[in-house]
Amino acid sequence: MYRTNTCGELRLADAGKEVTLSGWVQRVRKMGGMTFLDLRDRYGITQIVFNNDTDAALCEQANHLGREFVVQVTGLVAERTAKNPNLLTGDVEIIANSLKVLNASEVPPFTIEDESDGGDDLRMKYRYLDLRRNPVRRNLELRHRMTMEVRRYLDSKGFLEIETPMLVGSTPEGARDFVVPSRMNPGCFYALPQSPQTLKQLLMVSGMDRYFQIVKCFRDEDLRADRQPEFTQIDCEMSFVEQEDVISLFEGMAKHLFKELRGVELDGPFVRMPWSDAMKYYGSDKPDLRFEMKFVELMDILKGYGFAVFDNAAYIGGICAKGAANYTRKQLDQLTDFVKRPQIGAKGMVYARVEADGSVKSSVDKFYSQETLQKMKEAFGAEPGDLILILSGDDAMKTRKQLCELRLEMGNRLGLRDKNKFACLWVVDFPMFEWSEEEQRLMAMHHPFTHPKDEDIPMLDTDPASVRADAYDMVVNGVEVGGGSIRIHDSELQAKMFEILGFTPEKAQEQFGFLMNAFKYGAPPHGGLAYGLDRWVSLFAGLDSIRDCIAFPKNNSGRDVMLEAPAPLDQKQLDELQLELAPVEEKKS
């Protein structure tokens, strides 16, 4: 028996017992004739004591242990003289009478501590060592508990967990696919699923009624803090439902997860916000509602006074930062530099302070009377001590997005984005389509299987760009944690959708004929939602990136630096697959 107990379970009640523990050497400390060893496993740390006076050979053996050695220790549980309140086992220690090295270790490339001295790339290369650190381990434990609660909740609501294939056909209408060549079908390729979308719809046609799956999905696209090339969805679909049914059930699931995993009770229904309002007042379809600072449009107030930047603008808007009028010129210059960064792209920023006497002092005072500035102040509901920040531009949508970045930056600077505070909402009534400059055509904002709002269906023939979708996203603290829609279940409406998206009947039949044909055999009304498991876990763990809640993530270039993947294939494999590689062009620096 390698162990009778773990390194995290012994307490004072166990004093006097002989136990055997196994684990990794966290550290060894020599103090006079005593040697202390901190032994670690995933459950905790227990202090082991070796006494040179009672067993010099055993103590000498302990003195030669290195960090991360795997050892087995037997001894008696005793009460510690100097207790450690920071450890669950801090009231006890083991007086060792036996020590066995199960495996030696080289000196690890970074310290296995909560605050490691290893950089991101180094820790990713030795991820199996990084996973020994408490913060990363706790994230994976949280992930495990979340999947268990998800299954428990959905099972109680009558859902069946059903697996769908990992090798599917390519769907180029969405994000870029990862493709897999087929040796048995030369010249043909599978794709790894971006989502089980069409398959779960087929399960509704089959009468499965309520389906879910915690499923790996794949998208070959640029990475961000909340995006990996492979990610995990809590994928769900329901038959005989309308939008309200789906929202109600999965809002209940969100509240269940908050209560069980964070001990947070969320009262009342979540906010519902039309997409148009989200863009108008926050410049984002995933607004962070932990703080206010709604946009105020100022076109009617500030145009026509000789300030060319505003007079020539298609949009003028601003935010009011409460209590920030004491910002120094240096801080305001920093904010101006922030919005002028290439990734944000504003040309400049105008500011105005509300003074203690209620007057307004602005960076463009020479163009505006105090009367006009007072109208601006009233539009914001600003009070003495507040700071107004204004952006303008020749593209309203682009300028609102720039103002969104400024709003979030001010939220950070003013400490308004507390990770222990949660603001949940549903963004609804998305546009059905969006214009693609690259493709020069309308594209589905979500996917081509989304049902349009019933009252907007007549506009599919006359004004498709104005059609709204029966689509909904759940947003928590400015992060989209899930989204879904009511689906089209009528083959004629689905054909109409493909036509608007530029598919010929032949192309639609080639790519999605299996779905359209299935609809002819009694498809029920259905809809669903997919939550991002990685995003939920990172949100609950208070992380800025999903990477540390994934056991073996990719880096920002989509590479696994531990496995050295992706990597070239040898010529024999290429020949078997009948693949010939074109020369790779060198990237210009």
Give how far Cα 567 sits from Cα of 121, 123, 579, Å.
18, 20, 15
| CATH number for position 429 | 3.30.930.10
Q: Is residue 112 part of a domain?
A: no
Assign 588 a pLDDT band (cuts: 50, 70, 90): low
Query: Residue 566, preceding bond cis, omega within 30 degrees?
Result: yes
Q: Is residue 332 part of a domain?
A: yes
User: Structural domain tally of the chain?
Assistant: 3
Q: DSSP character for 261? A: I
Q: Is residue 195 part of a domain?
A: yes
Q: Per-residue pLDDT averaged across 465-482, rounded?
A: 96
Assess contact for 237 and 200: CB atoms under 8 A: yes
Same domain, 474 and 390: no
53: containing domain = 12-103
* pLDDT tens readout for residues 391-402: 999 999 999 999
Q: What is the pTM of this model?
A: 0.91
Same domain, 17 and 86: yes
Same domain, 159 and 196: yes
Return the pLDDT at 435.
86
Return the pLDDT at 171.
75
Domain final residue pick, 358, 384, 413: 413
Distance CA 155, CA 426 (A): 24
Share of the chain above pLDDT 90, in %: 87
Beta strands in 322-446 (DSSP E): 350-354, 360-362, 387-393, 424-428, 433-436, 441-444
Same domain, 373 and 487: no
Judged against a pLDDT cut of 80, whether residue 587 lies above it is answered with no
Q: Is residue 3 part of a domain?
A: no
Same domain, 153 and 226: yes
Assign 38 a pLDDT band (cuts: 50, 70, 90): very high
Judged against a pLDDT cut of 70, whether residue 173 lies above it is answered with no
Q: Is residue 529 part of a domain?
A: yes
Least confident of 2-11, 83-92, 502-511: 502-511
* Residue 384 structure tokens: 């003495």
* pLDDT tens readout for residues 239-270: 999 999 999 999 999 999 999 999 999 999 99
Assess contact for 388 and 380: CB atoms under 8 A: yes
Share of the chain above pLDDT 70, in %: 99
Same domain, 329 and 303: yes
Q: Is residue 212 part of a domain?
A: yes
Distance CA 496, CA 490 (A): 10
Q: Per-residue pLDDT averaged across 295-311, rounded?
A: 96
Judged against a pLDDT cut of 60, whether residue 589 lies above it is answered with no
Judged against a pLDDT cut of 80, whether residue 172 lies above it is answered with no
| CATH number for position 60 | 2.40.50.140
Q: Is residue 145 part of a domain?
A: yes
Same domain, 169 and 194: yes
Q: Is residue 114 part of a domain?
A: no
Q: DSSP character for 560? A: B
Q: Per-residue pLDDT averaged across 440-462, rounded?
A: 92
Q: Per-residue pLDDT averaged across 280-304, rounded?
A: 97
Domain final residue pick, 354, 381, 413: 413
Same domain, 408 and 428: no
Q: Per-residue pLDDT averaged across 323-351, rounded?
A: 96
Beta bridge partners of 428: 274, 472
Assign 134 a pLDDT band (cuts: 50, 70, 90): very high
468 SS3 class: strand
Same domain, 392 and 476: no
Judged against a pLDDT cut of 90, whether residue 238 lies above it is answered with yes
Same domain, 450 and 484: yes
Same domain, 65 and 157: no
Distance CA 100, CA 179 (A): 50
Same domain, 185 and 99: no
Domain final residue pick, 103, 125, 147: 103
412: how many CB neighbours lie within 10 A of its CB?
A: 10
